[in-house]
Each structure stands twice: as C-alpha cells, then as structure tokens.
Structure 1
Amino acid sequence: MRPKSHISSAASFLVLIAMIWYAFHSQTPSSDVKDNLPETEWSTARALEHVKAMSLKPHYVGSNAHNEVRDYVIDELKKMGLSVTTQKGYDISWNANMSQPENILARIKGSEPGNKALILLTHYDSDPHSSKGASDAGSGVATILEGVRAFLAANKTPKNDIIICITDGEELGLNGASLFVNKHPWAKNIGFVLNFEARGSGGPSYVLVETNGGNRKIMEEFMAAGTDYPVANSLAYSIYQMIPNDTDLTIFREDGDINGLNFAFIGDHFDYHTELDSYERLDRNTLAHQGSYLMPLLNHFSDLDMTDRVMVAQGDDLVYFPLPIVKMVSFPFSWLAAMIIVSGIFLLFLIILGIRKRRITAKHLFGGFIPFLGSLVIGFLLSKYGWEGIRSGSFYIDQLHGFPYNGYWLLAASAFAAVTICFFLYHKYYHRDRIASLSVAPLILLWVISVAIAFPVGDGGLIPDVYLGGAGFFLIPLFAGLIMLWLNIYQKRPSYILLLLLAVPAIFVFAPFIKAFPVALGMSILFVAAVLSTLLFGLLIPILGHYRKKGLLAFGSLLVTIVCLCFAFAKAEFSQTQPKPTSLIYVQNQDNQTAQWATYDRALSDWTKEKLGEKPQLAKELNANSIDSKYGTGFTYAAKTIYQDLPEVALELVGDSTVNDLRTVRFKISSVSDVHRYEVFADSKYQFEKAMVNGLEIEPSGKSKKPFANRWGNRFLSYYVKENAPLELELTFNADTEPEIIIYAASFDLLEQEQFNVSQRPLDQMSMPFVLNDAVLRKRTVKLSRDFKQPNDDVTYELVEPNAE
C-alpha cells in the first residue's frame, strides 16, 4: 500500500491547527458589542456603561471615590425599583486586616417566601492604592446590575428570593463578606451563591466550585441551566481545594456552610491591582462571558428548590470538563478506579495484539520512548532554565505579578519550541510501519499520570499529597488514543477523518491548559507549556506519525519559535502601554525625628533616583517591621532626607487597670492629617489575653488560642481607615510584662503634598501594586510601662514614650 498522500496529510494538518485555534477561541462569546438589544436581554454595551462610570479613578476603602462608587451602585439599583439598604460595621480578617466595610444590599421577593434565597455576589472596592478596579470587580458589579435589570424587565416572578449583595472591603481581607455572613439576618436563609470576580482583565471566565461537601449536585444544576460557554473542569476544582482560597465566597462556605460558584477570569494578569485595570483594557469578550453565565443561572437557581442548599455529602463528586457541541461531559469520581484499570488492560491488550499482528515491535515500542521522553526533557530544560536566565533582568524583577507584559509571547515560544523538538526527533525515527509502535509511549505516560494522581485509595490517592481526582477526565483522551492505536494496528492507512474526530478530546482537554497554567500560577511554571505541548503532540502521533515531511514541519515550527522570541524580546521594554512599576515612600520616625526615602524597586528608575540618589543604602533597618504586602515584599533601598514638619501621630491614654495580675490598657491613636492605614506591631513574645479594636473583640486564634496569635513579622494589626477615624486599642496582658507597641500611620497622598516636591511620575511608569506606595509613613513607638498610675477623675494621663535615641 502507498503511504498517505501529501495533500490529505496537509489537509489533516490544517484541520488540526484549526481545531487547536478553536479550542481557545470558542471559550468566550464574540467581542461584538451590540447596541439596542431588547430590554429583556443581557447587553455587553449596557454593562460597559457601568464599568466606565465606576472605574474613573481608584476607589479603595477610605477614598472619596469609594463613596462615589457606592452611591452610584445604590442609585442604579433604586432605578430598577428595588429597595436598597446598606450594612456597615467593623470586621477583622484571620490575618488581622481590619476595616469598616459598608455592604450594599437589595432583595427581589420570590413567590414562595419560605424558600432558600439565591444571592448574587461581588464587591465594589478596588485594591489600594492605584487600581481603578474596572475588572476587579467593576466587571462583577456591572454583570449583576445589567443581569438584574434584564431579569426584572422580563416581568418574571422567581420562586425564590434573589439577594443582591455588593460587598465592601474584599480587597483588604474579605471584610464585607464576613460582616454579612456573620451578622446580617438575611444570611441565615441562603441556598446558593453566584460570585463574580477577576484576577486580570481578560481571558475566559473559569467556573470554580466552593463547597464543604461534594460537587455533584452543584455541577448537575450548572449543566441543567444550559450556559453557552462553560469553561469548567474538575481539575481546577481539585487544585482550588488544595490552595488557599480568598474570594468572598470562601467566607460563605467557611462561616456559613453555604455552597456556590465563582466565575473568575485571569487573563492579562499584569493588569491585576494596577492603574491598568481600566475600562479601556477590560476585554469585551470576557465581560460578555460573565453575562453568559449569569442569565441562565439566575433563571435556573431562582426557581430551584434549594432546601438542601445544593449540598451533597463530601466525596460525592463528578469529574467534568467541556467539549464542543455537547458543552459538558461528566461522570462520577466513583468510576475512576474501574476506568483506569480498564484503560490499562485495554492498552496492554492492544500492545499484545499489535505485536501478534506485527504492527508493533518491542524494539520500536521501547525506541518510541526516546523521541517522546527526549522531547519532554529538552522542552522542560529549555523552558525552565530559559526563564531562569532572563527573569533577573531589569524588565522582569519589579513585575510582582509573576506574569510579565511579554508573557504570552514567551509562553508561545515555549510551546512552539517543544513542538519543534518533537517534529525533529520524531523525524529521525520516522518510518511508515512504526506509527503504531511510536503511539504507545505517550499513552503509557498518560496512563501512569492518571494512576499516580487520580486513582482513588481510601479518602485520597496512591500519592495522598498530590491526589487530584478531578484530573480523571484525562482518561477520555486516553481512551480516544487507544482507539486511534487500534485503528493504526488494523490499518496502515486509517481514515484521517476518523482520526481527527478521535483527536478532539486530546486537543480540547490539553490545549487550553498550555496557556492557562502559566497564566494562573506564574511564569515559574512556564515549563508546563512545553511539557503539555509535548504530551499533546505525543497523543496526536497516530495522525502526525503519517506525515513524511516532519523535518520541514520542524523547520517551520522553529521559524515560528524564533518569531515569538523576537516579539517577546521586542516587547521587553517599558512604555506607556507597558509601564514600569515604581514605588516611593517618605518614612518619618517621629520618635527620634529622622526621615528617609524608601522604595520597593529592585531596579531603580531615574524617577526614584531623584529622591534616593545614585547609591542608596539597603533598607535592612526598615524591614525589621515588615509593612503588610501581598507577596511579603520588603523595602529594597533607603536614603536619609530632611525631616519635614508633619502633624504628630497622637497617642492618648483612655484607661489603665489591673485585675488578677492581668493589666488592661486602653489607648487611642489619631492624627489631624489624613491617615488611610495604620499598621501596629509588637514583638511576638508579647501575648495578649484579650484585645478589642474600636469596640470589636478580637477572637482567639493560632496554636496559643489568644488574640493576634497569627502574626506575620510581628505585625498584629492593619487597620484601613475611613474618614480619618481614630484607632482605639484595648489590650489585656500579663501585668509583669511591658509590651512595646510600634505604630505606622500611612497616607496615600505623597504625590499630592507639595512640600515633598516629588516630580510627576513619567508616563512609562506606574505605581507598583501589592505594596504600600506613594505614601507618607509616620512612625510612633510606645512602651506600656509599669510607671502608669491608675486613672481617676482629677488627672489626665498620657502614655509614656521611649526616650529618643
């Protein structure tokens, strides 16, 4: 028989390329923003109007813009005829981030008032200090506002009440969600939550399950709702359960035992929590994707009997993943063991069958591991150490997101480099009679992976620490691959059409992960793009193996790799659309009247050098007490400067008493000038028996079961201030100790205060996210000395401060 023709091979190759492209493109709706849609339909154009109105400037808790956004949301809900209330109160998170959130609440009454309610959830605060919050989470607010408007326009009365809960203080410590779940009466009768979030400004929105039980009932109802673009898979569910969760929905699950679904997009992660999180940069496809989730789910869950709170027993889970046309494929976790065993037996049977039919030889079967494992190892090494080699460059080290501006080009280069290696090595091993033999190695590896991470044993897997039962859908491409192997055993020239149909599971399962994993988890796992590209290539060997021009394809893939690298390095420079993150803080020690300029920058810009000079000192002393930051980032450099005449951080004793060898000191910290955040430190050796902050009692925590036991670098409290309200601490401790309390008062107005003479930040720079920035930081220290006298009606007492050094 003649080998397959060049024309049919070329046609099948183009179809493969189209399928891989479609695996990415089909995840979100069209970007076309249509005007004049019927009032009963969700409109991207109308939702964008809300995003634009709410993202004009940063609106972190305590800012004037924050109040403006709150009022805007309230007004929009009132325009729909809803009665709107707010819930305000102090809350403190597990890691001692405290604020006074003000949640926005409204309720659509259902026809059956005794039913459990559906809650639509997102937050309206942006991250301090520079984020405009268009995506995070202006997109969520806009999605809900437009969805509720369209729902009400349909004049449909739901069976269940629908609660609209737009929380506050999410960025600080999920404070608004905690306040609602633990203190609002509506929280006692909630059946399910739909939460809309963002961790970037584009890309598909992923469905993540939050439950204390199993996922079966939730996913059954999700699939019954009939969403058009479901980007949901059980591997993400398994991974999400293993990592620390930090969305508002987590509070509903942990504190209220309430199930729900998160809808969160992570693309363009470099925009996250920056001034680039703007109306202009929000991907219209992505916003439309959020709307495509909300409307069918709102209609479905608002009429669903949620008496059981959509809850099933823990371990009652489904494996699920999306496929074109059928949308979602699912099967129970309980099938995994049998499916893995059957696939292993089937694989062994086909190997024996192939050997008996002389379509597989032991020599070429084992030889097939050389190009496959060789491609895996070389691709892994090139990607891992290639990234290690460039990540310390000045373009990368201050991009704290872990995914740089040119990340997509580097990701593409990694994937195409792996494909180049695959084509080259398989070209060396090509023979038209070896295709079945060469197809075995990838199938064996995929089967071993499935056994290692998805084979259930008791409450876990063979390797408990890496048990990911949600990855069980890898078995579907495995079974499809086994059928392709069978076809290549029985036929020298199996139909390309049939092989391409059987390639669908491998492409639609693995291709999206090539992009998703490095974007979600950072460029430190860039090698995953190479590894998954090689695995996908191996699973397609039953098709690609028939191509006789693999050397030419290797050369073409190499050219694409080089082009991607050229674009990656061409984009590795800062510009107005890719601004360099920079930071500047004025630190004033009011104890000894000294001052310093400080920065978090590792690669100093000319702008920061204006204040720090060409040769600043390392900021070791300032990092003795680490100011709270998302990634534990510390100051890098500091330089002494003029001590400016700034208002003092005032310390006032309110009360001091001793009972049963326990001393209670109550004091107030305030400032006549604006403060946006207080940071309070005490050496971890000082343990408090009881603590109250602004009247809020602090719950015991940690191994010691005492207040503020979970300290990070001696920091025991971060308080985000509204309307310059004072901080009042009441601390109870052993009377034999004299704790020293260090207070930092930060205001985010450095660039507005003329006395500091800070020049305007260049257009190719932006305020560095995740750290305290553009701030004036004033420090005070107080020792709770035994020299205090008991307060009485005739004497006013002040705290005894340490001597200035």
Structure 2
Amino acid sequence: MRSFKPKSHLSSALSFLTIIAIIWYVFYSQTPSAAVEDNLPATEWSTARALEHVKAISVQPHHVGSAAHDDVRDYIVTQLQAMGLQVTTQKGYTMDPWGNLANPENILARIKGSQENSKALLVLSHYDSDPHSSKGASDAASGVSTILEGVRTFLAQNKQPINDIIICITDAEELGLNGAELFVNEHPWAQDVAMVLNFEARGSGGPSYMLVETNGGNRKIIEEFSAAGVEYPVANSLAYSIYKMIPNDTDLTVFRKDGDINGLNFAFIGDHYDYHTELDNYERLDRNTLAHQGAYLMPLMNHLSNIDLSDELKVPEGDDYVYFPMPIIKMVSFPFKWLPFLIIGSGLLLVVLIVYGIKKRRISFGQIMAGFVPFLGSLIIGYLLSNYGWVGIKSGTFYVDQQHGFPYNGYWLIAAAAMTAATLCFFLYHKYYKKDNVASLSIAPLFILWLVCLLIAFPVGDGGLIPGVFLPGAGFFLVPLIAGLLMVWLNINQRRPSYILLVILALPALFIFTPFVKAFPVALGMGILFVAAILTTLLIGLLIPIIGHYRRKDLLSFIGLIATLVCVGYAFAKAEFTPSQPQSTSLVYIQNQDDQTAQWATYDEVLTDWTKAKLGESPAAASELNKNTIDSKYGTGFSYAATAPYKELAPVMVETLIDSLHADLRTVKMKIYSESVIQRLEVFCDTTYVFEDGKVNGREVYKAKVSKKALPNRWGNRMLSYYVTNNEPLELELTFKADVEPEFQFYAASFDLLKTKALDVKPRPLEQMSMPFVLNDAILRKRYVTLNRPTIVTDSIPSNE
C-alpha cells in the first residue's frame, strides 16, 4: 500500500498564486480597458469623444437656477441638432410629495423607427448638477455624454431601428426628480415608452452596476439583457432584491411609480467621496467607468430598438430570475421558482456527502465539529476587530465631517478588514490542520452558506423564513455551494486531488464573493465594514478544499499579518486633508430681517481656522436654529452659531394677493420674492397647522391619500423648498380653517456668501472644500408672517403684508 505524500510546496504555491491572480482578474475584468483611443471610426462608440462632452458640460457647477445651467442646456440641444435631430424642450413647475418645488426644463429628441405606432425605447440621464459646488462630471455629465456619443454612433451606422428611440435629458433630478415627474405625467411621448435605460452616478469611478426597476417580475428584462450581449455585465439579483427593499431615488423610479414603465439603471459608485462635491470634475472621472457606460448603452440600444416591445417586457410580480455574471458565459440565470428545490436538494446532498465521507473514513463527525472552531472563530473575531475598529476611529477629526459615509482612505480600511480576516483564517486553520482532515474542515463553511441560503432565499408564503429579510436574489449563492460540494467529493475520493480541477471548481466562489468584499462597504457605507471581513472569511472557508492542503498556512498567516499592518498603516497615513482630498467645511450668514439681527452658522463638527475666523474659538451650539430644519440629503442640522454684524441686504418681500373667506374656510395667496437674486426659498409652518387645499405657482400641492389634507409630508416644520429659476417669485395659495392663524417662516437663500464684499469671507485654503449635501456658502434671509384673522368678512381682501 502506497503511503500518502502531502502535496509539494511548489504545487501549493502555484495554486495559491493562481487564486491571487484570479482575484485580481475579478476586479480587472469588470470594466473595459483604460485605453482611450483617438480617431476611432464614426460607427464605433468612442470614450475620447464622450470625454469631450464631459469636459464641456462640467466646466463649472450647473445647478438649477445658475447661469451655467442654461449654458449646459444649450450645449446639449446644439449637439443633438448637429446630429440632424429635431429637439424640443419641456418646461413647467412640479412639486414632489416632499415639497420640493422646481421649474425644470427637459431636453427631448426622437429617432423614428420603421414600424408605425410601435412602442419606444427611451434613453435617460439628467443634466443638472447638485447645488451648489459640484461640477457634475460624473453625476451626471457622464450619463449625458454616454447618450450623446451613443446616439451619434447609432445614427452614423445608418440603420433605422424598428422601434422609436426617445432621448430624454431631464432637469432638476437632484432637487426631487422633478424633470422626470414632468415628463412622465405631462408629456404625450411618455405614453409610447416601453423600456428605459437610465445612466447615473454616485461616485466618480468603479464598475457601473445594472439595477432593474420594475413593478412586476424581471424575467423578460433579464432575458433581453442577456440576449443583447453586453460584454461587461456587472449585475446580480441580490442587488435587485436589496434595491427593491430600500427607497429608490433616481429618475427611473418616477417612470416605474407614475408610469408603470420598466427600466434599467446603470450607476457607478466607486470613489464615493467625490459624490456631489467639488471633486466631481472632469479630471477625476474614471475613463474605464465612462467606457463601461458606453459598453452597456450600445448593445442594449441596438437590441431593444429592434425587438417587439409591445408587451413592454412586463411579467407578473414573482416571475423573476436569479442572475449573476461569470466570465465567458457573461450572464447566468435561472428562475426563482427553482430555489426551493435547489436549497432542499443541496442540503440533502450535503448530508449524503457527509455520510459517504464517514463511510469512506475520509470524514469524521468529531473533525466536522472541530472545523466549526476555525471558521466561526475567524468569523467572530474578524467581525469584532473590523466593526469596533471602525467604531474606534470614526469619531476622529478626519472622519466626522465626511457625510458620504465613505472616507478618502476607505479602500485601505476595506483591504485591512479583509486581510485581518485572511490572517485569522490562515492562523486558526493551521492550528487545526491534519493531513487527512481537509474534507472534514470543508463542511462547516458549506453548512453555514447553505443555512444562509435557507434563511434568506427560501420562499414561504409572500416572504421568507425570517420576516422582513427575504432576498431570493441571493439564490446564486447556491452555485458556489454546489461547486464546494464537488470539491469535498474530490477530497473524499482522492487523497491528492488535482489542484487544477479544484481551482476550476473554486471559480464560482471567487467570481461571486470577491467583488462583494469591496462593493458592500462602498455602496452602503463604512458602518458595515465588518461585511468585508465576514465575506473574506466565507470565501477562504469555501477554498479550504484547496487551502486545507497547504502545510505552511502559518507562513500565509504571517504574510497576511504583514499585509494587514501595511494596509492599516497606509490607511492612517492617508488620514489627512490635502488639496487632493480636502476637508469639507461650511459657513452660512443668517439674517433675520424682522428684528435686524444676524448670525454666522456652520454644519461642521470640527471647526477649522477658516470657520473660526467668523464663529470665534468657542461658538454656541446651534440648537435654536435647528428648530426649522433646512432641506438636506441627510437631514443635517447646524452644529454651531455665533452672533454676526447685521448688514443691509435686499429685503425679502411678502405680499398678500388674496385673503378670502368662504363659510368656515379661509384662502390666502401670498407672493414671496426679492429684488436681489435668490436660489432657494424654504417655507416653514408648524405641523399643528393643517391645510385643506393649496397651490404653489399655479400647481396643485400633494395631498394625503386618506385624509386628503394638503402638504402632509413635512420634515419637521419644513413645508416646502422652492428652487428658484430666473428669480421667479413664489406664489403660495393655501386654504385652511378660518378660526386658526397660521405662522410662517420664509428663508431666502442665495449662494453668494463668498462674493459679498460686505461680509468679508476669505477664500478657503486649498486643503478645504465646500461641504456637500447642505445649504452652504449661502446668505440666508429670514422673514416671519402670521396670518391674523381678518376683522371684516368678505370674499376677497387684497392687501400687503
């Protein structure tokens, strides 16, 4: 009988290096090459040509109401006209359910198809940038540029599509999806749309993720997406399941909710610290990422414009596919309805495999139980170190005012969490290594993965086994599970299974779980940094049928420790503010024009010399100012305030145009305006005041579905936010019970703080930038109005406030 000889160090090293190379390729293969080729034929989509559009659009911030906003609109119109398209614009006031009022101007064009009265494909992005400092190169000049270059390429091919192609570049997306709401609910073309391709961004780099937006099932959408032959699909049904559980906030959401129109979002989220900041500029946009957007658009536009869209790719809710990308195959998919059989079947296979291994004396129950120690030990310790490590450092000066939730050194912290988990795995598995227990040690990770699939993906009624956590899109986790069972089977039947065969079977685990190690903390914030450690542990656990044969896992643990220390060291070395990763700072001058007082205020938790120059060394907490919360992305309130000198500024005028009584109801129409430029008007009114009806600039306001009361969705006392265009006044008409006297506060903001010489605000140092997501670098003028009950009852009493 031949004695067992462990595998050689050389073959083990080669297999390990192969795994490392595959992990590198997993990330590298997500996007097209970085090469930006010039002089490509007119019939090919060109990253270089798309970049020219990005450069032209992102010269300066172009939020709604800015002069640059009109320049960008005119540029896009001119580019589409140069392609021979007839371009129109659509303008009108809209207000979302949360009181965000704007006057967007959408840009529209249409390529006629050969089939009359056919359904249309719509390509979508938005051209406004976020107020007020972002240049919007990624969000969403990249999307507009992708469409401009894509449409030019399509027309250059001289192929008339079967279906019409509508180009819709919306406005005021950043304010409340106002442009999309205007198009879907008021433009006649909206009735023709069967499918939407929407291009977005929430960072400045990384792969672009495909996300399905539908009221029904995804089956037909995924079938056609696969048939289109997209070369670099970064799409999986787990993201689809998660996306359906959380609030969505892209233009495409309006198409789904208001128009019952299916669509696909394509959005990249890498370098999230650039999102909505001054750093969202032409130079920082990842060229790979822009090429990836084009790699989605061209095959999908060609395919979807030439298939039958009469059914609008709609199927009943629940008629869904599990889907995920794999190399060569591109997209793998199977129906949700297979999940119960696959989960039960894989569980039975696991039991059969254990019994078979015990019978062959290659698995023992004791060793299986022992295998849970290194796996769960790595899982628990990795979680504790990464989670509480982040808790320990996130209160530091470098992190507190980075509102994105993803700091400049975030990638290095993710790498540190992953390497910590790897170090623990190698160390603990080395302690439990025996030359004949690899199959036994492999059972614990497979069982835990099967348990995860059972708990979150097994359908029970309208949900899953855990109420509120039903993610059937995670059903593709079963693929690496089944591959892992085959790897264990090889280890049962062969003392020295082929590393080549084992590595091939490990590909599903490597290609499925590796991207998630990075993607989850980037997408959902550093609060879930521990997920990187957990997924790394799970991945290494699934590789135990290979790594378990390595006799020098202690050496790998030492190398992992060194790598962890390097990542931690580099993360801390990068934890400083520089011109390339500036500190976010904020300053607002708040003037009460009724009592002629003024204050300086900031959102900063950590004050810099720049803010202290106005607020002093020991400013007071701004709790009084925060009784009225100014609209912001994360509901951020002022942190500090200090008394400021009162300067004579143009007054905010409040005029009463109509004041009428009808039975027990009173209707008041007010006009709020200023002779000087205003970019934003906030209206506050205590929630104890209830309104029966209302109009804003001629538009009916949103009403509650049950009570039918007007303006029900208030964030604190905030009633509405008006984003001003061309300094047009706000006309607010409200109907309420005649026996009440509503009290209003009007905040008029202009983004000219740094340009107002009387206030003498110095420019920021190079290592600082304007804080995103809040009202910043602004002059805020306040007026208070109480609608006292009239002493004379008439149908109309015009007066001035």
User: With structure 2 as the length reference, what TM-score do the two structures score?
Assistant: 0.99
1:467-506 matches, within 5 Å, as: 467-506=470-509
Cα deviation digits, residues 590-638 of structure 1 (max 9, x gap): 1211100000000001100000000000001100100011001000000
2:780 matched to 1:798?
Answer: no
1:91 to 87, 94, 113: 94
- Equivalent residue for 1:690? 693
Q: CA deviation at 1:771?
A: 0.3
3-state SS in 2 of match to 1:464: coil
Aligned residue identity for 1:760:
P
Aligned residue identity for 2:720:
L
In the alignment, the residues of structure 1 paired with residue 547 and residue 503 of structure 2 have an alpha-carbon distance, to the nearest angstrom, of 11
- Equivalent residue for 2:41? 38
Aligned residue identity for 1:798:
N
1:76-225 matches, within 5 Å, as: 76-225=79-228
2:521 matched to 1:528?
Answer: no
- Equivalent residue for 2:784? 781
In the alignment, the residues of structure 1 paired with residue 484 and residue 579 of structure 2 have an alpha-carbon distance, to the nearest angstrom, of 48
In the alignment, the residues of structure 2 paired with residue 578 and residue 789 of structure 1 have an alpha-carbon distance, to the nearest angstrom, of 62
In the alignment, the residues of structure 1 paired with residue 726 and residue 294 of structure 2 have an alpha-carbon distance, to the nearest angstrom, of 35
- Equivalent residue for 2:649? 646
Is the Cα–Cα contact under 8 Å of residues 84 and 105 in structure 1 kept in the other structure?
yes
Q: CA deviation at 1:703?
A: 5.2
In the alignment, the residues of structure 1 paired with residue 792 and residue 623 of structure 2 have an alpha-carbon distance, to the nearest angstrom, of 37
1:263 to 254, 262, 266: 266
Is the Cα–Cα contact under 8 Å of residues 629 and 770 in structure 1 kept in the other structure?
yes
In the alignment, the residues of structure 2 paired with residue 755 and residue 695 of structure 1 have an alpha-carbon distance, to the nearest angstrom, of 37
- Equivalent residue for 1:608? 611
2:50 to 47, 51, 54: 47
Aligned residue identity for 1:21:
W
In the alignment, the residues of structure 2 paired with residue 746 and residue 396 of structure 1 have an alpha-carbon distance, to the nearest angstrom, of 28
Is the Cα–Cα contact under 8 Å of residues 662 and 795 in structure 2 kept in the other structure?
no
3-state SS in 1 of match to 2:146: helix
In the alignment, the residues of structure 1 paired with residue 242 and residue 62 of structure 2 have an alpha-carbon distance, to the nearest angstrom, of 32
Aligned residue identity for 1:207:
M
In the alignment, the residues of structure 2 paired with residue 702 and residue 111 of structure 1 have an alpha-carbon distance, to the nearest angstrom, of 43
In the alignment, the residues of structure 2 paired with residue 708 and residue 701 of structure 1 have an alpha-carbon distance, to the nearest angstrom, of 7
Q: CA deviation at 1:660?
A: 1.8
2:71 to 46, 62, 68: 68
1:341 to 344, 352, 368: 344
1:557 to 538, 557, 560: 560
Is the Cα–Cα contact under 8 Å of residues 211 and 243 in structure 2 kept in the other structure?
yes
In the alignment, the residues of structure 2 paired with residue 789 and residue 629 of structure 1 have an alpha-carbon distance, to the nearest angstrom, of 41
Aligned residue identity for 2:215:
N
1:349-360 matches, within 5 Å, as: 349-360=352-363
Aligned residue identity for 2:499:
Y
In the alignment, the residues of structure 2 paired with residue 284 and residue 707 of structure 1 have an alpha-carbon distance, to the nearest angstrom, of 47
2:734 matched to 1:731?
Answer: yes
Is the Cα–Cα contact under 8 Å of residues 206 and 289 in structure 2 kept in the other structure?
yes
Is the Cα–Cα contact under 8 Å of residues 658 and 798 in structure 2 kept in the other structure?
no
In the alignment, the residues of structure 1 paired with residue 370 and residue 399 of structure 2 have an alpha-carbon distance, to the nearest angstrom, of 41
Which structure 2 segments of 5+ residues have no match?
Answer: none
Q: How much identity, in percent, do the aligned residues show?
A: 68
Q: CA deviation at 1:432?
A: 1.1
Q: CA deviation at 1:699?
A: 2.7
- Equivalent residue for 1:598? 601
3-state SS in 2 of match to 1:513: helix
1:224-243 matches, within 5 Å, as: 224-243=227-246
Is the Cα–Cα contact under 8 Å of residues 237 and 474 in structure 2 kept in the other structure?
yes
In the alignment, the residues of structure 2 paired with residue 790 and residue 219 of structure 1 have an alpha-carbon distance, to the nearest angstrom, of 64
Is the Cα–Cα contact under 8 Å of residues 364 and 434 in structure 1 kept in the other structure?
yes
Q: CA deviation at 1:798?
A: 1.7
Cα deviation digits, residues 153-197 of structure 1 (max 9, x gap): 001100111000000000000000000000000001111000000
Is the Cα–Cα contact under 8 Å of residues 673 and 730 in structure 2 kept in the other structure?
yes
3-state SS in 2 of match to 1:457: coil
Is the Cα–Cα contact under 8 Å of residues 656 and 790 in structure 1 kept in the other structure?
no
3-state SS in 1 of match to 2:315: coil
1:669-708 matches, within 5 Å, as: 669-701=672-704, 704-708=707-711
Aligned residue identity for 2:414:
L
Q: CA deviation at 1:73?
A: 0.3
1:235-634 matches, within 5 Å, as: 235-634=238-637
2:8 matched to 1:8?
Answer: no
Q: CA deviation at 1:705?
A: 2.7
- Equivalent residue for 1:803? none
- Equivalent residue for 2:773? 770
Is the Cα–Cα contact under 8 Å of residues 655 and 791 in structure 1 kept in the other structure?
no
In the alignment, the residues of structure 2 paired with residue 792 and residue 9 of structure 1 have an alpha-carbon distance, to the nearest angstrom, of 91
Aligned residue identity for 2:34:
S
Aligned residue identity for 1:336:
L
Q: CA RMSD in A?
A: 1.0
Distance change >3 Å, CA 180–CA 378, structure 1 → 2: same
Moved more, 424-433 or 704-713: 704-713
Distance change >3 Å, CA 502–CA 570, structure 1 → 2: same
Q: CA deviation at 1:704?
A: 3.1
User: With structure 1 as the length reference, what TM-score do the two structures score?
Assistant: 0.98
Q: CA deviation at 1:457?
A: 1.2
Q: CA deviation at 1:461?
A: 1.1
Aligned residue identity for 1:581:
S
In the alignment, the residues of structure 2 paired with residue 681 and residue 767 of structure 1 have an alpha-carbon distance, to the nearest angstrom, of 26
In the alignment, the residues of structure 2 paired with residue 581 and residue 94 of structure 1 have an alpha-carbon distance, to the nearest angstrom, of 30
Q: CA deviation at 1:788?
A: 5.9
Q: CA deviation at 1:789?
A: 5.0
In the alignment, the residues of structure 1 paired with residue 428 and residue 768 of structure 2 have an alpha-carbon distance, to the nearest angstrom, of 45
Is the Cα–Cα contact under 8 Å of residues 600 and 635 in structure 1 kept in the other structure?
yes
Is the Cα–Cα contact under 8 Å of residues 97 and 702 in structure 2 kept in the other structure?
no
In the alignment, the residues of structure 2 paired with residue 781 and residue 692 of structure 1 have an alpha-carbon distance, to the nearest angstrom, of 20
2:714 to 711, 716, 719: 711
1:722 to 721, 725, 735: 725
Which structure 1 segments of 5+ residues have no match?
Answer: 800-805
In the alignment, the residues of structure 2 paired with residue 789 and residue 125 of structure 1 have an alpha-carbon distance, to the nearest angstrom, of 48
- Equivalent residue for 1:802? none
Is the Cα–Cα contact under 8 Å of residues 767 and 773 in structure 1 kept in the other structure?
yes
In the alignment, the residues of structure 2 paired with residue 113 and residue 394 of structure 1 have an alpha-carbon distance, to the nearest angstrom, of 62
In the alignment, the residues of structure 2 paired with residue 787 and residue 46 of structure 1 have an alpha-carbon distance, to the nearest angstrom, of 64
Is the Cα–Cα contact under 8 Å of residues 661 and 794 in structure 2 kept in the other structure?
no
3-state SS in 1 of match to 2:169: strand
- Equivalent residue for 2:662? 659
Q: CA deviation at 1:647?
A: 1.2
3-state SS in 1 of match to 2:584: strand
Aligned residue identity for 1:443:
L
Moved more, 137-146 or 707-716: 707-716
